[in-house]
Amino acid sequence: MENTEKPWLWKPGQSGNPLGKPKGILSIKSRIRNYLLDNPGEVERLVHYFIKKKPALMWQMLEGRPQQNVDLGVDKDSISELTNLFRTMAGVTQKIDDIQGPEGSDGIRSSEEAVSE
């Protein structure tokens, strides 16, 4: 399926953020890393600060975040049913758009117009 059938998709080689971050501008992470490389004594001070003032955050940075429970209590059959329902709804919406065109004869907006708002 090509992008002509899905005009909301980016064309190959097209940027979603054409202005983007200007070249030569460093991220905050890079700026902090460069500062600490240029000022090694600050690393020691930073470590002491986190140990005294933010010990939980210090452990989290060292050990990583604890594993989180992402079980939503939904069984696989329900997910499958919902997926099929959404696919059916998308197919029906597409057929309505195909019949009505961008704006139906009754003034109802197409699903694509409703989504783009």
Question: Domain ranges in the chain?
Answer: 25-66, 74-117
Assigned token pair, 45 = 């001070």
Residue 35 per-residue DSSP state: H
pLDDT tens digits for range 22-67: 888 888 899 999 999 999 889 888 888 888 998 888 888 788 877 7
The pTM of the whole model exceeds 0.75? no
In the predicted structure, residue 97 carries a pLDDT above the cut 90: no
Alpha helices for 22-100 (secondary structure H): 28-38, 40-53, 55-63, 76-100
Instruction: Say what the pLDDT of residue 38 is.
Output: 93
The length of the chain in residues reads 117
Instruction: Say what the pLDDT of residue 110 is.
Output: 52
Hunting for tokens 């940027």 — which residue is that?
A: 15
Cα atoms in the 13 Å half-sphere on the side-chain side of 37: 6
